[in-house]
Amino acid sequence: MIYTSKSTAAKTGPTAVLANYIRVRTVPDKVFVYTISNHHVYEKKEGKPAGRKTLQQRKEVQNIFEELKSIHLNPLLLNVSWATDYVTLWTDRLIFNTDPEQRIFSLDYTSLRGQRLKPLQVEVKRTKTLDTIRNNLLVKKIEDCSDEIEALNALVTHPVLHSRPDFSITPTRQNRFYINEASEPLMSRERTDSKHKDVALRAVRGYCTSIRPGKNSEILLNVNTATTAFFPPSRVSDVLFYIGTGPDFAREVELDDIEGWLRGIQLYVAYKRKDVPGRAVPINDRRSRLKSFQNFGRSIEEQKFFDTTNPQDPGTAVRHYFENGKKHVQI
């Protein structure tokens, strides 16, 4: 948005002020808010009582929504403006013709752990209707408009997150996203050798947006650039090796620090694991390899790698793997 000051134009030429606000011309008359929940009821067997299980991991609920959409929701969302964070669904029109407006769908779903949940019950229920949105944003205090702002932020950013042929997007919060290809490596001056280049942090450029009420009965979209450091795709063992042996880090960084940096990061199990009988999805299938890092678990003396081609292989301890220069074990 560019403002030009006419009062100074005759003397010094036009004065342009560049702002990071865009005027929002229209907002939906209403936004309908749905909650998405799931549960699986498992039967009593082998001395274990029956129970009810809810999947809550972010990658899991994302997969559930994508499968639910492809099988059941696509026709309902075809002519609707909508957005979701996979737990809440915002739409500008009603999607069900029931009162109360809710539906329970059954999915034959296989979890990330390879467990077949047949059926997985997924409930989509309208919990709120936001109306007089424009008036609320202009009349109420901003802290009293959190529902309206959350809904509009979601609807604004939804098209941005669609797949594009020229670049890909990583969302970190509902209204903050990063362009994966817009990155630069952050290298230590002492660590410029190619051996460690792949595990250096990289600065990724992105944007965050937020709806804000403005003066003169206007609603504005604030757009700010953001740059954050990310780990590039690399092996956790290389991150440990690099930080653990680097002269500028060795005396300052503890294992707990590295654990905190990695917590929540998506991991892909690259090595082969022993098959587990009875899994709906093989343990070495891609779906079973995606994990979310929580902690390192057992000590490096106890953790072992196994040669799956040799049933008699006693395993190689992680400490031995590092102490021998990673020469004798291939993973």
Tens digit of each residue's pLDDT, the chain (331 residues): 444 434 444 455 666 666 788 888 888 989 999 999 999 987 766 656 667 889 988 888 999 999 999 999 999 999 999 999 999 999 999 999 887 899 999 999 988 777 888 899 999 999 999 998 988 888 888 888 899 999 998 998 888 777 677 778 888 877 888 888 888 877 655 555 555 555 667 889 988 888 888 777 788 888 888 888 887 777 887 777 776 655 555 456 777 888 888 888 878 888 888 887 877 778 888 878 888 888 887 777 888 878 778 888 888 888 888 787 655 544 4
Euclidean distance between CA atoms 7 and 327, whole angstroms: 74
The whole-number pLDDT of residue 239 equals 77
Residue 17 lies inside a defined structural domain of this protein: no
The whole-number pLDDT of residue 264 equals 80
Cβ 201 vs Cβ 186: under 8 Å: yes
- If asked whether residues 87 and 122 sit together in one domain, one would say yes
pTM of the model: 0.71
Sign (positive or negative) of CA dihedral 239, 242, 245, 251: negative
Length in residues, the chain: 331
Last residue of a domain, one of 195, 215, 230: 230
DSSP 65: H
DSSP 207: E
Cβ 96 vs Cβ 76: under 8 Å: yes
Question: Domain span at residue 96?
Answer: 30-131
Least Cα distance to 230 among 174, 172, 286, 165 occurs for 172
Residue with tokens 């202009």: 138
The domain total for the chain is 3
Last residue of a domain, one of 82, 107, 131: 131
Residue with tokens 């410029």: 192
**Taking the CB of residue 219, how many other CB atoms lie within 10 A of it?**
19
- If asked whether residues 75 and 35 sit together in one domain, one would say yes
Helix intervals (H) in 183-235: none
- If asked whether residues 257 and 192 sit together in one domain, one would say no
Last residue of a domain, one of 189, 209, 230: 230
The whole-number pLDDT of residue 46 equals 65
The whole-number pLDDT of residue 45 equals 65
Q: What is the dihedral of CA 297, 298, 301, 307, to 10 degrees?
A: -80
Residue 21 lies inside a defined structural domain of this protein: no
